Amino acid sequence: MDELGVAIVGYGLAGSVFHAPLIAADPRLRVASVVTSSRERALQAQAEHPGVRVWATAEEMFAEDEDVDLAVIAAPNRMHAELATKALAAGLPVVVDKPFAVTAAEAEAVVEAAERADLPLSVFQNRRWDNDFLTVRGLMDAGEFGEVRRFESRFERWRPVSKGGWREVGAAADGAGILFDLGSHLVDQAVALFGPVTEVYAELDRRRPDVQADDDAFIALTHASGTRSQLWMSAVAPQLGPRLRVLGSENGYSVYGLDPQEADLRAGRRPDDGKPWGTVSADSWGTFGAGEDLRTIPTVPGDYPAFYAGMAATLLDGAPVPVDPRDAVETLRILEYARHVAGSAES
């Protein structure tokens, strides 16, 4: 088998921009099928991936497509658990876009279904391969911080008028809102770095009159390790704070600006275009040190392609999945508890 056929269920922003280009760039994977009921998106998929088969429904694809070795669930959040379960029932390994499901209970049921079927299941927590996260991970592994006491992480935007997409105007019960959208990344990163959480504090607000779900949130986590994580996510921040700030007993690190991979994918770039991928110029590097002894240090290149390289290794070489789905279940438990602590944005 030269390449594994991948089916992408849903060809909106997630499917067409974040999944398909990374799949197509991996030498052991190809975009074999796309599920979309939109004629416009069907034509887009056929233009971007010549030879791709397009199905109107996931059920048709699961029942009839024999050239699929992996299903990627990139439909709206409320459909993640249902479609993942159907894919597993059809005998397919599965990748689910984040958030894994709308509730932790739904996510746990999908994990149990994968275990019963003895099929690989992973969750697309791509921001574990952001350049800033990889840089912090490397500094931690080298012991450069000493004891990490505080971790600050932000995904902030200035969008005073909603664009009207379902993530902004949909209901929180459908997985809309910034807590599930960006909080899924921020909580996952914090737990991946610092381990289990013992305390959660949260603030959740709906600041713009034209949205139905939360658009401004803050979560504070206390980890069993003693580290405290402070996480901001906002669509209404007129001034942006540092993307990451890490304060340790010996050194700290801070960096501004976003990893460039998302913007490059949105602009139509692919990781296999022969140009450097996930890199930033020296003027975007972060600052490391303590007191007056500060210096800029190179940012590790981001590497979103590593996720699907990991899935290919799982399916072809028997390697572990790149993201353990139980990590995503725990992230959902924290997000659910954060919503409980803060109260709904509608109240």
Tell me the average pLDDT across 205-214.
89
Name the domain boundary from 124, 148, 169. Answer: 124
pLDDT digits (tens, 9 = 90+) for 281-294: 999 999 999 999 99
Tell me the average pLDDT across 90-101.
96
Is 317 part of a structural domain of the chain?
no
Residues 99 and 233 in one domain: no
The predicted pLDDT at position 302 comes to 98
pLDDT digits (tens, 9 = 90+) for 115-155: 999 999 999 999 999 999 999 999 999 999 999 999 999 99
Is 325 part of a structural domain of the chain?
no
Tell me the average pLDDT across 94-123.
97
Q: What are phi and psi of 295, to 5 degrees?
A: -150, 150
Residues 142 and 273 in one domain: yes
**β partners of residue 125:** none
Which comes out higher in pLDDT, residue 172 or 183? 183
- Residue 168 clears pLDDT 80, i.e. is over it: no
Give the DSSP H or E segment for 342.
helix 325-342
Residue 99: cis peptide before it, omega within 30 degrees of 0: yes
The predicted pLDDT at position 343 comes to 81
Kindly report the CATH number assigned to the domain that includes residue 30.
3.40.50.720
pLDDT grade for 213, boundaries at 50, 70 and 90 = confident
Tell me the average pLDDT across 23-38.
96
Residues 75 and 172 in one domain: no
**β partners of residue 228:** 150, 222
- Residue 91 clears pLDDT 60, i.e. is over it: yes
pLDDT digits (tens, 9 = 90+) for 260-283: 999 999 999 999 999 999 999 999
Is 327 part of a structural domain of the chain?
no
What is the secondary structure of 109-171 as a DSSP string?
HHHHHHHHHT--EEEE-GGGG-HHHHHHHHHHHTTTTSSEEEEEEEEE-B-SS----HHHHS-
What share of the chain has pLDDT > 90, as a percent? Answer: 89
The predicted pLDDT at position 169 comes to 67
pLDDT grade for 1, boundaries at 50, 70 and 90 = low
Structurally, the chain folds into a number of domains equal to 2
Single-letter code of the amino acid located at 215: D
What pTM value is reported for the model?
0.93
**222 exposed, middle or buried (CB, 10 Å; 0-12, 13-18, 19+)?**
middle
The predicted pLDDT at position 346 comes to 43
Is 256 part of a structural domain of the chain?
yes
What share of the chain has pLDDT > 70, as a percent? Answer: 97
> Among 98-107, 159-168, 210-219, 272-281, where is mean pLDDT lowest?
159-168
Query: Tokens in use for 112?
Result: 């149990």
Residues 167 and 293 in one domain: yes
pLDDT grade for 166, boundaries at 50, 70 and 90 = low
| Sequence-distant (≥ 6) Cβ neighbours of residue 210 within 8 angstroms | 161, 162, 164, 169
Kindly report the CATH number assigned to the domain that includes residue 137.
3.30.360.10
Q: Helix 183-194 crosses helix 325-342 at what angle (to 10 degrees)?
A: 120
Residues 61 and 120 in one domain: yes
Is 347 part of a structural domain of the chain?
no
pLDDT grade for 163, boundaries at 50, 70 and 90 = confident
pLDDT grade for 347, boundaries at 50, 70 and 90 = very low
pLDDT grade for 162, boundaries at 50, 70 and 90 = confident
Name the domain boundary from 70, 95, 124. Answer: 124
Rounded CA-CA distance 254/242 in Å is: 7
Rounded CA-CA distance 70/288 in Å is: 41
